[in-house]
Amino acid sequence: MGFVDFIRDMRVRVAALIFSCFLLCSTGWLLWLSSVIQHANPEHVDFFTIEIGYLAQVLGLAVFIVAAAVLERRSRQKTLPWLVIIALIVFVVLLDPATTADSLEAVLGFGWTMNIVCGFAQGYYLYCLAALVGTNKRGTVLGCGYAASTLGNWLISTIGGGFLASGSACLILCSVLAIISAALVFATREGLTPSDEQLASQSNNAANARKKQSAVAKNSKGTLTGRKLIVFACATVVMVSLVKNTGFSFPSEDLSGVVNLELSRLFYGIGLVVAGIMADRERSYVLGLCALSLVSPFIMLALGNSGASGLIMWAIGYLLFGFFTVFRIVLLADIAADNGRFWIAPAGLLFGRLGDVLGTAICFALGSKPLMLILATTVLFAFTAWMLFMLYHRFFLPNRQVAMQVDPLNEFCTDYALSARERQIIPLLVEGKTYAEIATEFYVTESTVKFHTRNIREKTGCATRMEVSDLYTQYVRNASQDNE
């Protein structure tokens, strides 16, 4: 793959968008946190930043979901990037007073508003993750994009004597990041045409996959589908995030001691990359990592009583948090893509943030009563473990059975590195449809279809359309024999 093809790859663009946008939001949030610490009483900082700050992000995500659902219904998805670009501009405008105001009221007011805008911007790259990235690369794109931004936070912290040492320099940096993010938002716009969503739900392969999934569901009593699945998945995300935060909620008072926030967040990046790669190898792996990480509250409670270094607790907390993050985002992104309703994807972060808020509230409320906190954590842990068990048997396991039964189109496209559009064209080429017929069905020009067909021939090493059809037919035949 040449450099031009690399930068045209939508997966690369989405990963870069996640990196730049998350780095912008996290940098702005850390600057705001520093300003709140300077103005507020230490015992109120976490309430202002984590509790209300995260709720503000939830509001922003909810606004994005509503806007995306309305525009998607009207086939006007290409309007979304313009709304996000406006949000990025507003974010930078609000960042200055949120971090330099003289009064606590102003810092909080501008900061909470900034978090609302931040949630809206985050909703967009999660939407793109579901709409523009295939299932077999979704975890890696998310994990690597987030991990690169945490590395960026650490690099920024080493410049000029520390991350928070030069607020003006960081404001300039955030402005540059906003410009880069806006450019990447616009670069993903071409993938959000109405035909993309129509193709995802109307292609013959998708229709066959849904029929086979329906057959598996009928043979699997109690399989979660449709709205029940979405509701149960969102509830599970809330509970997982809640349990995680009951044991350790990254208290801001530790920042005045030995803890280096940016350095400890590098462990977050490690967890993200590991979980992302594992998720793409097998979705149930990330579920297993998430379940394993449910023991983190008990680890944190034990370390809290042993006098262990705060840095160790932050490092472990962020490492395991990487597993939680990938699980809750990829789960809802997969559901969104499977249903052709990409506006569902940001719900993973939205309900995860709600769980963070609730878990932190429990941690604060019972912090002075360790026995009560352990008891509450144990009960929540048991209930959440049951929910993960049910999610596996009623969603992950049936989907795995479906993946073993459906035709090997996805494997074929993965082996030959075909793009999402090329994946949609392959079945129609095999059916023998003309360029004009394919163009009509896809709402594109014949030249566009010829362009993608030429790419398919080059990637598969075929000289003609007939050779592509023969190669794919033989691939399907071999896959069927292997399954037997």
CA dihedral sign of residues 399, 402, 403, 406: negative
- How many separate helices (H) and strands (E) can be counted in the chain? 23, 0
Q: What is the pLDDT of residue 244?
A: 81
From 377, 405, 433, the end of a domain falls on: 405
Among 12, 50, 19, 3, smallest CA distance to 255 is for 50
User: Residues 358, 458: one domain?
Assistant: no
User: Residues 393, 416: one domain?
Assistant: no
User: Residues 359, 427: one domain?
Assistant: no
Q: What is the pLDDT of residue 207?
A: 46
Q: What is the pLDDT of residue 5?
A: 61
Q: What does the alpha-carbon distance between residue 201 and residue 209 come to, in Å, rounded to a whole number? A: 10
User: Residues 445, 333: one domain?
Assistant: no
User: Residues 181, 275: one domain?
Assistant: yes
CA dihedral sign of residues 279, 208, 465, 421: negative
Q: What does the alpha-carbon distance between residue 31 and residue 43 come to, in Å, rounded to a whole number? A: 19
User: Residues 344, 447: one domain?
Assistant: no
User: Residues 346, 474: one domain?
Assistant: no
Residue spans of the chain under pLDDT 50: 1, 163-164, 194-213, 215-222, 254, 305-307, 484
Backbone angles phi, psi at 232, to 5 degrees: -65, -40
Q: What is the pTM of this model?
A: 0.75
User: Residues 336, 475: one domain?
Assistant: no
pLDDT one-digit tens code per residue, 62-111: 999 999 999 988 888 889 999 999 999 999 999 999 988 989 999 999 99
Give the domain extent around 35.
3-405
Backbone angles phi, psi at 373, to 5 degrees: -65, -40
From 405, 430, 451, the end of a domain falls on: 405
From 373, 405, 437, the end of a domain falls on: 405
User: Residues 381, 451: one domain?
Assistant: no
Structure tokens at 118: 């931040």
User: Residues 94, 46: one domain?
Assistant: yes
- The CATH number for 226's domain is 1.20.1250.20
- The CATH number for 428's domain is 1.10.10.10
Q: Number of structural domains, the chain?
A: 2
Q: What is the pLDDT of residue 481?
A: 58
Structure tokens at 406: 């459906």
User: Residues 158, 187: one domain?
Assistant: yes
